[in-house]
Amino acid sequence: MKKILKRLERGGSVILFLDYDGTIVPIVKRPELAKPHPMRRKLLEKISKKIPVAIVSGRSLYDLKKLVKIKGIYLIGNHGLEILFKREIWVHPYAIRMKKYIGKTLKRIEDRLKNLRGVIVEDKGLSGSIHYRLLNQDKKKALKSIIEEEISKSKGKLKIKKGKKVFEIRLNLNWNKGDGVKKLLSLLNLKNEALKIYIGDDETDEDAFRIFKGGDLTILVGRKKSSFAKFRLKNVNEVWLFLKELLKKMGRKET
């Protein structure tokens, strides 16, 4: 953490990007319960008053808005396909056209998974998540083969991405969290010279780590072996310690 904080000393403007699950909230068995503690929310709100802050998640905007509840914060949902900035919402045009198709596919998968206890199919509008944190380990193979079979029917329109205890059903589109980050920067007309910080824990965050340049701060949360991120924090608690320090530094800069 010291090394990361040292990088901040060079001054200049800062933009903060944060993944949600596994980064600022711990991964829990019921994803709808993953909310930041009010104190932590307050801290993030303070930071967002000083620098632009964006949450970048695989969750839908709708979901993120309900959970995050911080005014003035930017939200990038559905792995970059939808962005809330100021009072506007940008949505990837192809994703808008495919929304119905995605919904129908998820419904079909849900019907076939009815007999597997501990599986939750979540329709996120522009994508879907099939959570299996509560599923018996020996049923995982059956789950996987049903999902694969149904997605193969889309003839390449949809793809499966694996996350932590979740299968993500996504458009087979060359668009990821990194593209969402770039899109937000262009929507906000933000200068390139600002120091960008991106903190994330998952495979999908690697797409974002990859777009940043040498001077930027990419931080992986957890013990994953290989990563494009330059720095590491151990867990969600350490992320918040870092954010606390970040706010302190911001405060000092002002005075």
Which stretches of the chain bind Mg ion, using CB under 5 A? 19, 21-22, 201-202
Give whichever of 165 and 244 is closer to Mg ion, judged by the CB atom. Answer: 165
From 90, 69, 101, 56, select the one nearest 205 (Cα to Cα): 56
β 158-163/128-131 pair status? unpaired
Q: Closest CB to Mg ion belongs to which residue?
A: 22
Min dist CB 175 to Mg ion, Å, is: 18
Distance between CA atoms of residues 87 and 19, nearest Å: 21
Give whichever of 22 and 80 is closer to Mg ion, judged by the CB atom. Answer: 22
Distance between CA atoms of residues 120 and 31, nearest Å: 10
Min dist CB 169 to Mg ion, Å, is: 17
Min dist CB 202 to Mg ion, Å, is: 4
Give whichever of 19 and 122 is closer to Mg ion, judged by the CB atom. Answer: 19
Q: What sign for the dihedral angle of Cα 178, 161, 35, 69?
A: positive
Give whichever of 82 and 201 is closer to Mg ion, judged by the CB atom. Answer: 201
> What is the DSSP track for 92-158?
-HHHHHHHHHHHHHHHHHHHHTTTSTT-EEEE-SSSEEEE-TTS-GGGHHHHHHHHHHHHHTTTTSE
Min dist CB 58 to Mg ion, Å, is: 8
Cβ(19)–Cβ(77) below 8 Å: no
- In the sheet that holds 166-171, the strands lie side by side as 120-123, 128-131, 166-171, 158-163
Give whichever of 34 and 102 is closer to Mg ion, judged by the CB atom. Answer: 34
Min dist CB 195 to Mg ion, Å, is: 22
